[in-house]
Amino acid sequence: MDTSRLPEPLRARIAEREARPAMEKARSLLRSYVVDTDGTDEIREQLLATARYNTYYLRQEVAALEEILTADLPQGTLFLLVSVDGGWPLDHDPTDDGATVFLGELAGWVHAAIDQAEQERTDR
């Protein structure tokens, strides 16, 4: 994203968001799209609505999510990320493994939303 023509305060805010650690970006994704939803359909709809507008931050956040999924994290980290930061129940498997499955699905939904939004742009 070329920010050179933006006002300095906005460029600084963008640089600050880009510099956030991967875990913070992943938390942001969960807090923005998972908390207080009625299910996976609503999550996907919200992701697509955002992707239709702009994919810049979604791309950063999904990359960060994929980074933490491959990182060596303390036991319980992914479970807490999903259940606390995302407010998502992991009743079927309340472990890091269960959280990994959900986060992998979430990453797939983000990619699908981005792909669909880009396809819609090219179809116009």
DSSP conformation letters of 9-45 = HHHHHHHHHHTS-HHHHHHHHHHHHTTT-SSHHHHHH
Domain ranges of the chain: 25-123
Cα gap 91→33, rounded to integer Å: 20
The pair of three-digit structure tokens given for residue 78, joined into one six-digit string: 């992914």
pLDDT 10s digits, 51-72: 999 998 899 999 999 999 999 9
pLDDT 10s digits, 2-15: 667 767 777 667 66
Instruction: Supply angle C-alpha 105, 119, 20, rounded to 5.
Output: 50
